[in-house]
């Protein structure tokens, strides 16, 4: 059992929880994720470790309520328990001193970006962070990520806060002005990671993306999370989730993410407490 010690709402349908998970907190590195199960018959869902506190023995998770399990998770209160959490899983993000790193976080991907941004900053890089959301309500973790970035740029699709436009716009601008960029990290909706990788490919800026295919076991055994990278099959849970954005087949990933829409709809409809 893993006890939720803190819970708060960050944006519409986006929640933050801090959970007691001493063994995971002791080992987890930026870029890694966990797979949790709310109860015995529950499905296993992967969520990135958005932060960790080794001395307190806790990990933090920020999640968007999109379907049955994330909605059920959103109903749990501080003091309640999650039945299983497995992790840390996946390869940590490769952190090194490269010069100037641009971190692009879209929607809830901003949360996954936080420990990575912090690690690049602590390693002596100049960090420019761009975070984007649909509107002001969907901008999360701004204060926290601002503190660890040399420059923070906020964008909203509707212009209700920060610069109007997609999170890719400031990056496009920097590239146009030939600003020095040594590495780009992008985490967010697949379409955003695809757009960022497309932008940087033409000018040869190394770009790392964190892929989010459907996962089951999370240890490289079932093959559910397979993605195509450089025309080869890779298991995102084991080889990733980070990959070279210039080599990823994003269209295949988007297609595979839409494999079970009917089942997901039925599962949500059948979930009585999700509707309470």
Ligand X SMILES: Cc1cc2nc3c(=O)[nH]c(=O)nc-3n(C[C@H](O)[C@H](O)[C@H](O)COP(=O)(O)OP(=O)(O)OC[C@H]3O[C@@H](n4cnc5c(N)ncnc54)[C@H](O)[C@@H]3O)c2cc1C
Residues at the contact surface with ligand X, assessed by CB under 6 A: 33, 45-48, 62-64, 66-70, 108, 111-112, 212-215, 241, 257, 264, 268
DSSP string, 103-135: EEEETTHHHHHHHHHHHHHHTT-EEEEEEEESS
Nearer to ligand X, 8 or 178 (CB): 8
Q: Any contact of residue 257 with ligand FES (CB under 6 A)? A: no
For the chain, the C-alpha Rg in angstroms (whole number) is 18
State which residue, 58 or 93, has the beta carbon closest to ligand FES: 93
Among 235, 240, 242, 248, interactor with ligand FES by CB under 6 A = 235
CB closer to ligand FES out of 75 and 221: 221
10 Å CB burial of residue 137 (0-12, 13-18, 19+) is: middle
Contact 92, 52 (CB under 8 A): no
Spatial separation of the C-alpha atoms in residues 71 and 96, rounded to whole Å: 37
At 209, which helix (H) or strand (E)? strand 207-210
Query: Judging by DSSP bridges, how do beta strands 163-164 and 183-187 pair with one another?
Result: unpaired
Q: Are 154 and 141 in contact (CB under 8 A)?
A: no
Under the binding rule (CB under 6 A), the answer on residue 220 touching ligand FES is yes
Q: Which of 94, 122, 223, 255 binds ligand FES (CB under 6 A)?
A: 223
Cβ closer to ligand FES: 199 or 237? 237
Q: Check residue 222 for interaction with ligand FES (CB under 6 A).
A: yes
User: Is 203 a residue that touches ligand FES (CB under 6 A)?
Assistant: no
224 binds ligand FES (CB under 6 A): yes
Angstrom distance (rounded) from CA 124 to CA 276:
48
Under 8 Å between Cβ of 120 and 101: yes
Q: Among ligand FES, ligand X, none, what does residue 141 contact (CB within 5–8 Å per kind)? A: none
Interacting stretch for ligand FES, rule CB under 6 A, among 21-29, 72-80, 131-139, 232-240? 232-240
Residue 274 sits in the site that holds ligand FES (CB under 6 A): no
DSSP label of 245: G
Q: Which one of residues 26, 147, 221, 266 is an interface residue with ligand FES (CB under 6 A)?
A: 221
Q: What residues pair up with 152 in beta bridges, in sequence order? A: 129
Stretch that binds ligand FES, among 3-11, 140-148, 160-168, 231-239 (CB under 6 A): 231-239
Tell whether residue 89 is a contact of ligand FES (CB under 6 A).
no
Chain contacts with ligand FES (rule: CB under 6 A): 215-218, 220-225, 235, 237-238
């Amino acid at each position: 059992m893993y006890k939720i010690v803190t819970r708060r709402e960050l944006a519409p349908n986006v929640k933050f929880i801090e959970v007691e998970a001493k063994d995971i907190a002791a080992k987890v590195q930026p870029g890694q994720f966990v797979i949790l199960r709310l109860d015995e018959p529950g499905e296993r869902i992967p969520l990135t470790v958005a932060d960790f506190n080794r001395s307190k023995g806790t990990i933090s998770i920020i999640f968007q309520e999109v379907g049955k399990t994330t909605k059920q998770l959103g109903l749990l209160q501080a003091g309640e328990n999650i039945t299983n959490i497995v992790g840390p899983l996946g390869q940590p993000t490769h952190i090194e001193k490269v010069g100037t790193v641009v971190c692009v976080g879209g929607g809830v991907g901003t949360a996954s970006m936080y420990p990575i941004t912090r690690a690049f900053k602590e390693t002596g890089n100049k960090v420019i962070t761009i975070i984007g959301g649909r509107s002001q309500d969907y901008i999360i973790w701004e204060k926290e990520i601002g503190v660890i970035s040399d420059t923070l740029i906020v964008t909203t699709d509707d212009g209700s806060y920060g610069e109007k436009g997609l999170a890719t716009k400031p990056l496009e601008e920097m590239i146009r002005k030939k600003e020095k960029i040594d590495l780009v990290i992008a985490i967010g909706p697949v379409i955003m990671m695809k757009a960022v990788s497309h932008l940087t490919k033409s000018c040869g800026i190394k770009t790392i993306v964190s892929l989010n295919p459907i996962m089951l076991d999370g240890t490289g055994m079932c093959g559910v999370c397979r993605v195509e990278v450089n025309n080869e099959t890779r298991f995102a849970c084991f080889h990733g989730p980070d990959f070279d954005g210039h080599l990823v087949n994003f269209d295949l990933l988007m297609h595979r993410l839409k494999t079970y829409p009917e089942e997901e709809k039925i599962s949500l409809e059948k979930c009585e407490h999700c509707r309470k």
